[in-house]
Amino acid sequence: MQSIQQMIETVLNDDQPVVLAMVFQVKGSAYRKEGTWMLIQEDGARTGVISGGCLESDLHSRAIELFNTGKVDIVHYDLSAEDDLGWGRGAGCNGVVSVVVRDIDNDFRHFLTLMHKRLLAKKHVLFIQSISNLAYYAYLNEDEDCLDSWQGEIPFELDAVTPFQNNAEQKSMGDEMVYFQLIWPRPALYIIGAGVDARPLARLAENVGYAVHLLDWRASLCNEFNFPMAVSFQIGNVERLINNIEFSSLDSVVIMTHDFQLDVKLVQRLRDSQLLYLGILGSKKRTERLLDRDIPNEVHSPVGLSIGAEGPEEIAVSIVAELIAVRRRKVI
């Protein structure tokens, strides 16, 4: 599942006609919620999903009619109908999904280009789309700079937001209905230690949208052959390497070096970094020895959700599940 940032990169790296389908309202239950994006390209490629498969074919048919037109439209799907004339087909979703379908023309590509620069700088943006007049859209960043085709004032402040929360909703502004969506940079996962057990973790994390970065002192392990999905490799003295990284509150780190003395030094450095997630491979007793104290709430050890995982693949599942839960603020 690709992040919105990755979808924007797909558009910017390929000049073929492409249509954006974006869920802006859900009434009742549905497979995906407000803020879901999907791309449909002229060659038939699709990125992302709007539903479990019942809407994509119809959206593809609509996209064919929109390519190279610069047009934008709204489609409503009633998933509660049980007969063949509805979209539910007995699936039991029992919701109405409203989708903006837009041909991405040159103006919108330029708009996405500037938004993408903010995301690369690890800055979130507020995407704004008028539902009453689909020609009007804008984005607002934390400096309250606004790039837009908008008419009039945007009465919204971008502050005090919770990292990685979707916060997609429709609001009334006078006589106009407006859709707001917070868009976050692609989440970053730094894996320290490029052993065999790190490979399924990197692979699974990339599959759910993380930008995976590897750090290790062994070039024979930390390389593209073992981690073809990674976006960067840093090889050398790991203590020095992490000192050169500007971690943010959007970043996650998993320590899996299997080196106790090195882990002591890494934890001392990373605990002051205000990370979104810090996980340490190993037992609770080992981590308490690392910290020389009880494990604080901000440190996840044993790393991963407690699902009885055994072996590298199952442990990777538990770690990625915990990463998602923390990002979605679902950890109890």
Domain ranges of the chain: 4-103, 108-183, 188-327
**CA nearest 138: which of 108, 146, 112?**
146
Which listed CATH number (1.10.3720.10, 3.30.460.10, 3.40.50.620, 3.40.50.720) goes with 188-327? 3.40.50.720
Q: What percent of the chain has pLDDT over 70?
A: 88
Tell me the CA distances in angstroms from 181 to 77, 101, 146, 164, one per residue in order.
21, 16, 14, 11
For residue 159, how far is the Cα from the chain centroid?
20
pLDDT for 10 equals: 95
Q: Which two tokens stand for residue 165?
A: 């929360």
Rounded Cα–Cα distance for residues 293 and 16 (Å): 57
pLDDT digits (tens, 9 = 90+) for 267-290: 999 988 889 999 999 999 999 999
- How far apart, in Å, are the Cα atoms of 11 and each of 107, 118, 196, 203? 13, 16, 34, 24
Taking the C-alpha atoms of residue 226 and residue 12, their distance in angstroms, rounded to an integer, is 29
pLDDT per residue as tens digits for the range 121-174:
888 888 989 999 999 898 887 766 666 667 666 656 555 455 666 678 888 877
Rounded to an integer, what distance in angstroms lies between the CA atom of residue 262 and that of residue 255? 10
pLDDT band at 88 (very low <50, low <70, confident <90, very high): very low
Burial of 208 (0-12, 13-18, 19+ CB in 10 A): middle
Give the position of tokens 């407000």.
34
Task: State whether residue 59 is helix, strand or coil.
Answer: helix
Query: How many Cβ atoms are within 10 Å of 47's Cβ, its own excluded?
Result: 17
pLDDT of residue 14: 94
3-state per-residue secondary structure call for 257-271: CCCHHHHHHHHHHHC
Please report, to the nearest 10 degrees, the dihedral formed by the alpha carbons of residues 286, 289, 290, 296 taken in order.
Answer: 90
Please answer whether residues 177 and 311 qualify as being in contact, where contact means their C-beta atoms are separated by less than 8 angstroms: no
Q: What dihedral angle (degrees, nearest 10) is formed by the CA atoms of 297, 302, 308, 309?
A: 130
